[in-house]
Amino acid sequence: MTTVAVIGGGISGLSCALHIADQRPDINVLILEASDRLGGTIHTDRTDGWVCEAGPGSFVDRHPSTRRLLERLGLSGDIVTAGNSVRRRYIRHNAQLHPFPDSPEALKKTALLSERGRRRMQFSPVLPPDEEDRTVSEFAAAHLGKEAAIMLLDPIVAGIYAGAPDQLSARSVLPQLVGLANRGGRVCDALLGQGQGRLGKGSMVSLSGGLGRLIEALTEALGDRIHFRSAVTNIQKNGSTWQLSVVDGETIDADSVVFTAHGQAAERLLGPLDDALDENLDRIPSVPVAVVNLGYKRSDVEHPLDGFGYLVPSSEGGPVLGVKWTTSIFPIGHAPAGHILMQVFVGGTRDPELATQIDGAIQAARTELQQTLGITAEPTHVRAFDHRAGIPQYTTGHSGRVHAIEAALSKHPGLYLAGTSLHGVGINAATTQAERIAKQIVNELPASKVVTTLRSGA
């Protein structure tokens, strides 16, 4: 039987495997997960009425691939949509929260920028197309002015990639804004939500009971195709098939391999196959992030928590990237009655070491909430998670590295790279790429083939 091995049981690997299994029942699909848990950064902890997310707890419902996946799993009826108040977001500056200026009227009033900075952004020019791969800082300064680059675009990018704007590639992390600018649009208009520059909108959604429901449904749908504690230690070509060495001496022969890990794991396993893969995967670093969930009695928090939460510009210093007000985004089902829940994101390039120290991350999160929101009470619930593999960093030159990696993969038929290394770190990006790779495999593999799929090693 034709065999496809999917390495990694995160959202990318699981959704890709399900697409293949659904469309080609004749294919033997194996999901090889190194740990004893699926989902990668997606995991929901449910304890005593608290619903805490280990990583992302929502996504913007504007990509059909994620919607199709939810429909396939029978989860469409469990989608919960954030209220309109979620569109109100704040920026922390000098320990004070300021509304993000998302309209021309708000820009005129914001205290985040000086009068000169406001006018520079308001009357930002249309610039000619730029072929250079600028950093986010360079791109933002050119189109919005230095003040807006530091106070507005810097925290947005850090909140998604946990990275440094003076290192990240604008072309790779802000493709919509760069595309708009190169078409003669104004980046300012997109940020202010006006005119033809307005970016695509979509509702922020999650699932009743937490986003972990998605992983749980995928786990049930895939059943015994999933193999836990099956770390792959080596990949090599063996004639017309791929041979995978797995811990405990097992060997798997597969017609196609979908690799979803990133960082050192990607370089370690794929690098020996091709010099171009080795060189370019090595140049896509990752940074660790800690996610700290803190629950409080509502009476212990004076702030109205009237919005999504707030982001922290890197110019403010400190290890905290931002704070989500979870129970403001999704008021029902995340905390016991009379309580509120927040997520604090710690580390990234600002303090990668602290991101791997749970106790230190919790203390940093509590200090942040005390200094900014005045919360001095002890939390009634704490759940913290460290993501050591972290978030890939699309530094300048990333698009060239992606091109080189994909060109190298084309020389190795049957080998595919999914996950977050190349084309985006969000859930929508992961499901879109997984769907595309699954379609390619389904169309290319023959209808039947005799392959020995699992045997014992010496």
Q: Which helix (H) or strand (E) holds 235?
A: strand 232-238
Alpha-carbon distance of 17 to 393, in angstroms, equals 26
Beta-sheet strand order (sheet of 339-347): 96-99, 89-93, 309-311, 320-324, 339-347, 286-297, 381-392
pLDDT tens digit sequence for 301-326: 999 999 999 999 999 999 999 999 99
pLDDT digits (tens, 9 = 90+) for 350-375: 999 999 999 999 999 999 999 999 99
Q: Around Cβ 76, how many Cβ atoms within 10 Å?
A: 12
User: Which residue from 384, 295, 374 is spatially nearest to 337, judged by alpha carbons?
Assistant: 295
The whole-angstrom separation of Cα 416 and Cα 19 is 15
pLDDT, tens digit (0-9, with 9 covering 90-100), for 40-52: 999 999 999 999 9
Query: How far is residue 342's CA from residue 367's CA, in Å, rounded to a whole number?
Result: 14
199 pLDDT tier (thresholds 50, 70, 90): low
The rounded distance, in Å, linking the Cα atoms of 313 and 153 is: 9
Tell me the residue ranges of DSSP E strands in 25-122: 28-32, 44-47, 50-53, 59-61, 79-81, 89-93, 96-99
Indicate the pTM of the whole model: 0.93
Structural tokens at position 421: 């290394």
pLDDT digits (tens, 9 = 90+) for 105-153: 999 999 999 999 999 999 988 899 988 999 999 999 999 999 999 999 9
CA dihedral over 415, 416, 419, 420, signed as positive or negative? positive
In terms of Cα–Cα distance, which of 15, 14, 29 is closest to 66? 15
Residue 216 confidence (pLDDT): 98
Q: Report the C-alpha gap between 304 and 90 in whole angstroms.
A: 13
Residue type, 281: L
**Helices then strands, each counted (H, E), the chain:** 17, 21
Q: What is the DSSP letter of 336?
A: -
Confidence at 449, pLDDT banded by 50, 70, 90: very low
